[in-house]
Structure 1
Amino acid sequence: MVDIALQEVATHGFASILPPLLAIGLAIYTRQVFISLAAGIWLGYTILAGWNPAAGAASAIEGAITTLGDAGNARVIVFTFLIGALIATVEANGGMRGFVRWVEEARWVTDRRRAQIMAWLIGIVIFIESNLTILVAGSVSRPLFDRFRIAREKLAYIIDSTSAPVCILIPFNAWGALVLGILEEQQVGNPLGVFLIAIPLNLYAVAALALAGLTAFRGWDLGPMKKAEARTREGRLQWEHAVALADPGEIAPPPAEGVALKPRNMLIPIVAMVVSMPVFMWITGDGSIARGSGTTSVLWAVLFGLGLAWLLALAQRSLNLDGLSRVGLKGAGALTGMAVVLWLALTLGQVTRSLGTGLYVAGVVGDTIPLALLIPLVFIVTSVIAFATGSSWGTFAIMLAVAIPLSNALGLPPAPFVAAVLSGGVFGDHCSPISDTTIIASLASATDHIEHVRTQIPYAVIAGGVATLGFAIVGAAM
């Protein structure tokens, strides 16, 4: 059992867990992350205002504004918009389609095995943003999968299992910025250091990537995937009842008319952003990457990549300043939903900390749940929420606000709790038919969405089982 001695007792007792419980319950029932987070914030401030709902609403609005007033929070939210602008600029300048054509013309793929390996590798290499990963990997690999009669369901599985899993293992992208922002809001000492320690403990992401790689290299077909593969080898790309989400030619937004398709228009900005990130960490840390500011560095890195994308477009005269501005604003607007989730996540974290939620939960579970079960329990609960809501980001927002204070109150290192939340969010998201990444994977593969979910679940459950066992071992070793 966990032996804890709390130096401070949460003054709000059981009421302190009501805001996250409300957010979780509403998220499962309504599947509306925005409303759920907002309701949790309102209830939290209502409790702080002596159960006055009107005063709670006013305080909630003020609290949300105060969250934006923090420089670190503002940098993370601005980054979210900028990454959308970068993706849109790369697409409009012909970078994505140029990369697709380059891979096809190079004829690097000559058989079934190489087609699957290439899809897996692309998903790993392009780790800046999950939707970008899926679209690029799907657009490049789909014609090759059709040519070698490999099931489109397998393509959807491979690109889905290398998008979010690899993105959540990298601190220098949109996912990393989200997590770093929440960790900073929870006042975690050295957020980047905690994130780095949590990477090898992010057992579902590691297991999912490894299983997808083994499937690509060995051609493993589990459960419904066997039937999909047999059908495709007979020359039938879809089941008779299947309905593809979109025409393959409409998946990636077209570049501007007359723009030359050049792979460097995508590779240069993305590589520059990835390479510059540790440099900016070193600069902001006064010569130490470990002491650098993650939110500042990731913001500078994406600005650097976006600036290069603009320079390439202007130098090639494919887009003028007016066109670049329009494209950038459109791309930024596409990620407004993610930015709002992040804003609400940070605000919920702020109010739960004020209520002492972690202290109360620690006092309740500390003497009743063995530590070996506590970490896997966090993983399982997070998975259920992510499955029900279809949102890994929204789930991170809810569960990190509980898990971090819990680890602090128990006097335990936060990294295993962070890893369990991140793993659970991705696992539940993978199994959920309403997940945005699952839907986009079906879209990019031009396959029936429900068939993608059916064929992917056996692989996800295996990786989830490995992660659950691993978290039990981690908990027992703490």
Structure 2
Amino acid sequence: MDGASTLGVVSVLPPLIAIVLAFWTRDTILSLAIACLVGILLAGEGLLGFPNLMMKALGNEDFSWIFLLEIFIGILIAFFQRTGAIQSFADVIGRKNYSRKRIGITSWFMGLFVFFSDYFSPVFVGSTMRKVTDKVRISREKLAYICDSTSAPVSVIVPITGWAVFISGLLIGLGPIQNETDALAVFTRAIPFNFYAVLSVLFVGLIVSGIIKDFGPMKKAEERAITKGKLIRDHSTPLISKELTNIDPYFKDRLLSIVWNFFLPVLLIITIAVGTYIGLGSAKTMEAFLAAVIFLGILMRFQGIPVKDIMDTAMNGIKGIMPAIMILVFAYTINTLSEQMGTANYLIQVTESWLNPGLLPAITFLLAALIAFSTGTSWGTFGIMIPIAVPIAIGFAGGDINTIVLATVAAVAGGGVFGDHCSPLSDTTILASTGAAVDHIDHVRTQIPYSLILGGIGTLIYLILGLLG
């Protein structure tokens, strides 16, 4: 690794400042903005470097895609609220008088069902289950945890998702992995070794079923919700504004068909996303949401809702999603800054000399987790770590694909998911807070103890595998 490609220990400071300030001030947007400004000054770019950095970070296809996706998600949630679809769904579930445990398990299963998109899953589960979980006094922090733990951790252990395609693509050409078929086979064989992701999904089920009791900050949040009826912490700032949470159904005396206004748009999203994945090899999630917005907008007009009301509802949806978009703006900015300063390269430099066959999977997992948590990007972590760690593992294996190689592939995937799962800079973590309408840092703070424990267990298993292998 060329030392000129990193600013050394200085490169770690911006993401570190962002994370520390976010927990201290509980203001994620301000913390990210300060971290970006400090990073620009440390890089010697001066104050004028700040707008230049933002233009580079935001003026690209990746950000445009997630920006449009967020906009369409906000509009669709607003349409669901205005048509009474979410209220109808909540009433259908509510009439069953399900217990807190049953509602929690239902939310968990819904997250598992929407396995094809880590972006759609947390917003869908959060927005549709929020009224139901509120009714049985499940804290918003708990709902966000359920949403988050059934998004990226699920997507990375299913071999027919964009995650599988991306990781498999990075494996092609490494050692004996010669083509797409070989790469996908290696990815699939590595799934049982992705201990963090598998444990995360299972752990949620154990928590919501009551087999494992809540502990730490999550326990306090649940006690607050149960005993005081406070679903969010006093003085917290939910990552979704009142324009989106306070939308009343247009027809207050009757709720329109839940089939037309809820299940058909959701089915349309799933059909387009899965269909395009099968037919084109890439799930067109953003286009699926756009189609659902247009479809439901037309249905609203046919049902007698005026055009002006439909447009006002759409604008409220956009306004309501803006807090999440602002965090994404600065998250992308600081990620670009970290790339320019060589944060990931520095972390690799200070650890690659430790690598040996016995420690390789565990060190790979920890390093991938650290990079992903610091930068908020799992796919970026995959792109950095797979070309480095996997060839080393194949070399140790004498050119074969053995347990150490599979464990190393899984360690990169699991470590990347750790960051995507619980970093305050991660887009899916932001989306989970948005879907659950909870303070973003409250979500991260209550989830991290669970994630750290599972990450520790995964590291221990990798150490045992390395020593036995």
Count of residues paired in the alignment: 408
Map Cα deviations across residues 291-347 of structure 1 (whole Å, 9 max, x no partner).
Answer: x3x5xx1221111111122122122123x3222222222222322333344344444
* Cα distance, 1:61–1:206 mapped onto 2, change above 3 Å: same
What is the letter of the counterpart of residue 102 of structure 1? V
2:320 to 334, 337, 359: 334
* Cα distance, 1:275–1:305 mapped onto 2, change above 3 Å: same
2:457 to 444, 448, 466: 466
* Cα distance, 1:278–1:72 mapped onto 2, change above 3 Å: same
Partner of 1:368: 354
1:121 to 102, 109, 112: 109
Asked whether 1:74 is paired with 2:70, we answer no
What is the letter of the counterpart of residue 308 of structure 1? F
Partner of 1:149: none
- Provide the C-alpha distance between the structure 1 equivalents of 2:289 and 2:107, rounded to a whole number of angstroms: 25
Partner of 1:263: 258
Say whether the 8 Å CA contact 2:379–2:416 is kept in structure 1: yes
Say whether the 8 Å CA contact 2:371–2:419 is kept in structure 1: yes
What is the letter of the counterpart of residue 212 of structure 1? V
Asked whether 1:238 is paired with 2:233, we answer no
- Provide the C-alpha distance between the structure 2 equivalents of 1:281 and 1:384, rounded to a whole number of angstroms: 28
Map Cα deviations across residues 170-211 of structure 1 (whole Å, 9 max, x no partner).
Answer: 669xxxx9999xx89xx9799x999x8798766445323323
Matches within 5 A, 1:100-139: 100-105=90-95, 107=96, 114=102, 117-125=105-113, 128-139=120-131
Partner of 2:376: 396
Map Cα deviations across residues 413-464 of structure 1 (whole Å, 9 max, x no partner).
Answer: 77643531322453577xxxx99957986979xxxx99x988x888666545
Partner of 2:237: none
- Provide the C-alpha distance between the structure 2 equivalents of 1:372 and 1:203, rounded to a whole number of angstroms: 11
1:212 to 198, 204, 207: 204
- Provide the C-alpha distance between the structure 1 equivalents of 2:449 and 2:332, rounded to a whole number of angstroms: 34
Partner of 2:421: 426
Q: Structure 1: which 5+ residue stretches go unaligned?
A: 1-5, 146-151, 386-394
Say whether the 8 Å CA contact 1:160–1:437 is kept in structure 2: yes
Asked whether 1:304 is paired with 2:291, we answer yes
What is the letter of the counterpart of residue 322 of structure 1? K
How far residue 355 of structure 1 moved from its aligned partner, in angstroms, is: 4.6
- Provide the C-alpha distance between the structure 2 equivalents of 1:354 and 1:461, rounded to a whole number of angstroms: 28
User: What's the TM-score, normalizing by structure 1?
Assistant: 0.65
Asked whether 1:275 is paired with 2:271, we answer yes
Say whether the 8 Å CA contact 2:362–2:411 is kept in structure 1: no
SS at match of 2:3: coil
- Provide the C-alpha distance between the structure 2 equivalents of 1:428 and 1:216, rounded to a whole number of angstroms: 22
* Cα distance, 1:202–1:189 mapped onto 2, change above 3 Å: closer
- Provide the C-alpha distance between the structure 2 equivalents of 1:435 and 1:298, rounded to a whole number of angstroms: 18
Say whether the 8 Å CA contact 2:422–2:448 is kept in structure 1: no
SS at match of 1:367: helix
RMSD of Structure 2 on Structure 1 (CA): 5.1
- Provide the C-alpha distance between the structure 1 equivalents of 2:162 and 2:15, rounded to a whole number of angstroms: 19
How far residue 94 of structure 1 moved from its aligned partner, in angstroms, is: 0.9
Partner of 2:150: 166
- Provide the C-alpha distance between the structure 1 equivalents of 2:459 and 2:291, rounded to a whole number of angstroms: 40
2:17 to 19, 22, 25: 25
Say whether the 8 Å CA contact 2:369–2:418 is kept in structure 1: no
Say whether the 8 Å CA contact 1:376–1:420 is kept in structure 2: yes
User: What's the TM-score, normalizing by structure 2?
Assistant: 0.66
